[in-house]
Amino acid sequence: MAKYRNKKPTIRDLQEDIGICIRRILKVEEHITEVITPALSQTASLLENFIQYTGNIDDFVKYMEEKESEYEKKIKNKGSEKRPQKQTARSRTAKTGSKNVKRIRPRSPQQGQGRSTA
């Protein structure tokens, strides 16, 4: 019977895996700089232009300050708020009594496997 060992990765395998991770990170960075950042700046400039066009800058600033204070309160309350604990469906006791269960001990190599070596 052949013994199976856990195959450990070689240095070359680790280098390949790290290289793949780095390439993926660079792709994500490229996507952020080329797609997401311009879209955010365009959205921000569009919002600024709309606010200036409508002339409600003061109202908008007040509204955003209210929203910010509500958000801060929500964050503070979230940490201090205690949620009721859900009752688990299972009881914490074992379903079979430990006294009635016969424990099976594994055989050690010294005790033999029950085979004769004749």
Rounded Cα distance between 13 and 16, Å, is 5
Give the residue-averaged pLDDT of 49-63.
Answer: 84
Residues whose CB is less than 8 angstroms from the CB of residue 76 and which lie 6 or more positions away in sequence, other chains included? none
pLDDT in tens, 73-91: 888 887 666 666 666 666 5
pLDDT above 70 coverage of the chain, percent: 63
- Position 47 scores a pLDDT of 86
Is the full-model pTM beyond 0.85? no
Rounded Cα distance between 39 and 41, Å, is 6
- Position 63 scores a pLDDT of 86
Tokens of 15: 């280098």
pLDDT in tens, 2-17: 576 778 899 999 999 9
Give the residue-averaged pLDDT of 23-45.
Answer: 92
